[in-house]
C-alpha cells in the first residue's frame, strides 16, 4: 500500500488540503504553478471568482491533455510509417509503388 501524506496550499487566502502519494518535489512544483496561475488570473478577473478561475484552468489542462495525446498518436503513426518504409522497402505503398521503384524490368 502506498504511503499517502497530507499537503496544503494557500491560494488567495484559502487553504486547500489534499492527500497525495507522489514525490514531494513534484507536488510542490505543481502546487506552486497552480497557485501562481490562479493569482495571475485573479489580478485580471477578480479574486472573488476562484471557482471560475479553477474551472478555467481545469478546462485548459484538459484541452492541453487532449492535444498532447493526439500529437503523440500522430508521432507514433509517423514513426511507424517511417519505420515500416525503412524496414520493408519492397512492400507496396502509395509512396513505394512500381512507378517509384528505382530498378525495374519489363518481361517480354
For 55-82, the pLDDT digits (tens) are 999 999 999 999 999 999 999 999 888 8
Q: CB-hemisphere CA count at 13 Å for 94?
A: 1
Task: Give the pLDDT of residue 86.
Answer: 77
Task: Give the residue, 65 or 51, on which the prediction is more confident.
Answer: 65
pLDDT at 96 over 60: no
State how far the Cα of 80 lies from the Cα of 93, in Å rounded to an integer: 14
The three grid cell numbers given for residue 106, joined into one nine-digit string: 519489363
Place of cell 491560494: 11
pLDDT per position as a tens digit, 6-46: 999 999 988 999 999 999 999 999 999 999 999 999 999 99
**pTM, two decimal places:** 0.63
Place of cell 514525490: 23
Amino acid at each position: 500500500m502506498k504511503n499517502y501524506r497530507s499537503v496544503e496550499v494557500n491560494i488567495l487566502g484559502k487553504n486547500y488540503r489534499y492527500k497525495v502519494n507522489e514525490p514531494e518535489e513534484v507536488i510542490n512544483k505543481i502546487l506552486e504553478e497552480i497557485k501562481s496561475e490562479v493569482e495571475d488570473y485573479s489580478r485580471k478577473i477578480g479574486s472573488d471568482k476562484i471557482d471560475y478561475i479553477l474551472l478555467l484552468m481545469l478546462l485548459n489542462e484538459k484541452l492541453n491533455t487532449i492535444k498532447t495525446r493526439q500529437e503523440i498518436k500522430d508521432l507514433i503513426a509517423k514513426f511507424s510509417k517511417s519505420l515500416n518504409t525503412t524496414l520493408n522497402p519492397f512492400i507496396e505503398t502509395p509512396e513505394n509503388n512500381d512507378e517509384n521503384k528505382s530498378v525495374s524490368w519489363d518481361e517480354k
